[in-house]
Amino acid sequence: MTGKEPAKAKLLSGGNPQIAKGYGDAVVQSYIDAMPGWKQDVGRRLDALVTDAVPGVVKAVKWNSPFYGMEKDIWFLGFHCMTKYVKVAFFKGAQLSPLPSGTSKQADVRYLDIYEGKPFDEQQFSEWVKQASALPGEKM
C-alpha cells in the first residue's frame, strides 16, 4: 500500500461521475460513491431496489452510467446524474405497465426522473424492474 488515497472521480456536466468502464458490483458501487450530494442516496436506493427485485442481476458501468441486466451486455435499465435530477432509463419501458412517465425520442425507452425532496414510488419502481428484467434486454 502506498498510503495514497484513490483519486476522487471527476464530475462531468450535470454532476455525473466519470467512472472507467467495468463489470460487477464493485464498479457500480464506485459510481454511486462518487455521485454528488443527495443523488448518492438515490443511487444507493435504486441499486438496492434493483438487486432485491432481480436476484443475480448483472451490473456494469458503461458511458459513465450504471447498467443492470440479465446477462453481460444485455441491459434493461440504467441511470445517470443530471444537473437537477437522477434519470432512470428503462430500455424497453414502452412495454411496461403502467408506463413510466418520461418519454424519449427512442420509441422503446421510457424514463423516470427523480428530484431532490420528491420521493418516488419505490413499490412501482420495483414492479417496473421485475417487468423490465423479464423482457428481452437492449444489447449495448
13-135 folds as: Aspartate Aminotransferase, domain 1 (3.90.1150)
Per DSSP, helices labelled H in the chain are: 25-34, 38-53, 122-134
Reported as a single tens digit per residue, the pLDDT across 106-139 is: 999 999 999 999 999 999 999 999 999 999 999 9
Query: 63: phi > 0 → left, psi -120 to 50 → alpha, else beta; which?
Result: left
- Record the cell numbers describing residue 123, joined without a space: 413499490
Half-sphere exposure of 21 (CA within 13 A, CB side): 4
Q: CA separation (Å) from 8 to 1, 20, 34, 79, 133?
A: 18, 12, 7, 20, 32
Measured in degrees and rounded to the nearest 5, phi and psi for residue 74 equal -125, 110
- The predicted pLDDT at position 15 comes to 75
Reported as a single tens digit per residue, the pLDDT across 91-111 is: 999 999 999 999 999 999 999
Reported as a single tens digit per residue, the pLDDT across 9-40 is: 777 777 788 888 999 999 999 999 999 999 99
